Amino acid sequence: MRYSLYSLAKQAINGHRDWPKAWRNAAPKSRYDVVIVGGGGHGLATAYYLAKNHGITNVAVLEKGWIGGGNTGRNTTVVRSNYLFPESAAFYDHSVKLYEGLSRELNYNIMFSQRGMITLAHSRHDLEAQRRWANAMRLNGVDSDLLTREQMQSYVPALDYSPSARFPVVGGFIQRRGGTARHDAVAWGYARSASALGVDIIQNCEVTGFELGSDGVCGVHTSQGKISSGKVGLTAAGHSTLLANQLGFRLPLTSYALQAFVSEPIKPILDKVVLSPATGVYLSQSDKGELVIGGGLDLYASYAQRGNLPTVEAVTSGMLTMFPSFSRLRMLRQWAGVVDIVHDSTPIFGQAPVKGIYLNCGWGTGGFKAIPAGGWCMAHMIAKAEPHPLTAAFGLDRFTKGALIDEAAASGIAH
C-alpha cells in the first residue's frame, strides 16, 4: 500500500486507525492440526514454515502475552554463526543464510545489517585461542578472519588503545557476515506472513495444562478454553521447564535473567558488533544511534524480567574499561529476559518423552540468531515426525548418551 505525505500525516494524527492490521487477531478454534505454545520468534517461524514449506495451515500459535514480548523482543539482536562444533556451525550458518534473504522472503524489512562481529583478544594467549577458533570456523565453511591490533584500530577506533589500558587490545577476529537485525520486525514479519497463510495467532492465551490420552497428547488447556490437537510444539524459552513439569517430565534447563541496556542516541561511532570475553561485555550501535549493550547472566535462577544491580555495575564498568570515552553517556533503558540455559550451551530440539510433544528450547543467551533455522527445523520435525538433519544431534538423548556439544566457549559472554 502506498501513502501520500498528506495521508501519512493524517494517519499519525488519528493514531493509524485506518492502517491494515499486519495479522488477524484470531479467536481460538476447538481443534488444530498443530498447536504451538509461545509466540516468540521460534514459535512464529515454526508456524510460518509449517504453512509455507509443508502446506500445514490449520495451526494456532498461543501466546500468553503479546507476540515477541518474551526474549525475542528483549534481546540485543546479534546474529552470527561463529561456533566451534560442526553440528552447531551447520545449524547456525543455515540460520544466517535464511536471515540474508528474510526481508525479501517475508516482504518485511527486518533491517538485517551484516556489519561484522568482532571478538577482542586482550593477550597473546587470547589470540592463540582465537586463531584455533577462527580456524575451526573455516574448517566448518564459515567465514572468519584474524585481525591485528592495527586492523582493530581502524575498525573500532573508539576502543582504549593506550599503553595503560586495563585490557590491552592485541587483536581479535571477525565474522564479517555477522551483525544485527531488528528483533520486533522478525517476530512481526513471521506473524504477518504466517497469518496470511491461514495460521491463527492468538494472544493473551496462556497454556495452563495438557490433555493426555493413552497415545500421547491430545490437547491443551488455556486461559481461553480447551483446544484439541495431537501435535503440540513447545517454544516457550525460559518457561519451558514449567510446561514440561505439567507434562510429567523434567528438562535439563535452568532459567536465569539476562539483562540488556540502551544508551541515549549519539552520532555514529561504532559500526561493528564488538565483544570482549575478558570484560564480559558486548555492544553495537543501533540505527537510531543508541548503544545496545549486553553482558553476563544474573548468576542465580530467576523468572524476574528486571535483573539485579551487581550485573548493571559489572556491565557498565566493563564497557567503560573498553571505551573510556563513553563515561558521560546516559543510559535510557535497562531490562531483562528469562533465558533457558543448558549445561553444554547447545539447544534442546526433538521429540519429548510424551508422544506428540515437540521441543524447541535451551537457546539460552543466543537464540535470536537461531530463529529462522529453528522455525525451519521445528516445522520439518512436526510435519514429518522426525528430526531435521540439522538438529538431529540436539535431542534430549544426548544427555543420557553423553554426546554433549559443549559450545560454552563460543556462546559469547553469558552461558
Q: Which of 136, 137, 201, 207 binds ligand FAD (CB under 6 A)?
A: 207
| Binding status of residue 280 toward ligand FAD by CB under 6 A | no
Cβ pair 116, 284 in contact under 8 A: no
Dihedral sign for Cα atoms in the order 343, 70, 192, 229: positive
Q: How far is the CB of 201 from ligand FAD (least distance, A)?
A: 12
Cβ pair 107, 222 in contact under 8 A: no
Pick the closer one to ligand FAD by CB: 84 or 127: 84
Length of the chain: 415
Q: Strand 216-222 vs strand 225-228: parallel, antiparallel, or unpaired?
A: antiparallel
Q: How far is the CB of 282 from ligand FAD (least distance, A)?
A: 8
Pick the closer one to ligand FAD by CB: 302 or 351: 302
Using CB under 6 A, which residues numbered 42 to 101 contact ligand FAD? 42-43, 62-65, 69-72, 74-78
Q: Cα(269)–Cα(153) distance, rounded to whole angstroms?
A: 13
Q: Which residues contact 150 (CB under 8 A, 6 or more apart)?
A: none
Using CB under 6 A, which residues numbered 16 to 35 contact ligand FAD? none
Q: How far is the CB of 64 from ligand FAD (least distance, A)?
A: 4
Using CB under 6 A, which residues numbered 379 to 398 contact ligand FAD? none
Give the DSSP H or E segment for 9.
helix 5-13
| Binding status of residue 38 toward ligand FAD by CB under 6 A | yes
Q: Which residues contact 177 (CB under 8 A, 6 or more apart)?
A: 80, 81, 96, 100, 114, 143
Q: Give the count of residues interacting with ligand FAD (CB under 6 A).
A: 39
Q: How far is the CB of 269 from ligand FAD (least distance, A)?
A: 19
User: For the chain, how big is the Rg over CA atoms in Å?
Assistant: 22
Q: How far is the CB of 341 from ligand FAD (least distance, A)?
A: 10
Pick the closer one to ligand FAD by CB: 192 or 369: 369
Pick the closer one to ligand FAD by CB: 140 or 241: 241
Q: How far is the CB of 149 from ligand FAD (least distance, A)?
A: 26
Nearest Cα residue to 394 out of 410, 368, 374? 374
Q: Cα(187)–Cα(407) distance, rounded to whole angstroms?
A: 26
CA distances from 334 to 76, 279, 318, 331 (A): 11, 19, 16, 8
| Binding status of residue 315 toward ligand FAD by CB under 6 A | no
Tell me the CB-side half-sphere exposure of residue 10, using CA atoms within 13 A: 8
Cβ pair 220, 35 in contact under 8 A: yes
Write each residue from 341 to 380 as x if it is in contact with ligand FAD (CB under 6 A), else as -, in one continuous string. ----------------------x-xxxxx-----------
Q: How far is the CB of 41 from ligand FAD (least distance, A)?
A: 4
Pick the closer one to ligand FAD by CB: 147 or 260: 260
Pick the closer one to ligand FAD by CB: 104 or 306: 306
**How far, in whole angstroms, is CA 126 from its chain's centroid?**
27
Using CB under 6 A, which residues numbered 250 to 269 contact ligand FAD? 258-260
Which residue's entry shows cell 544485527? 180
Cβ pair 361, 240 in contact under 8 A: yes
Burial class (CB in 10 A: 0-12, 13-18, 19+), 197: middle
Q: Which of 119, 130, 229, 235 binds ligand FAD (CB under 6 A)?
A: 235
**Chain contacts with ligand FAD (rule: CB under 6 A):** 37-43, 62-65, 69-72, 74-78, 206-207, 235-237, 239, 243, 258-260, 294, 337, 339, 363, 365-369
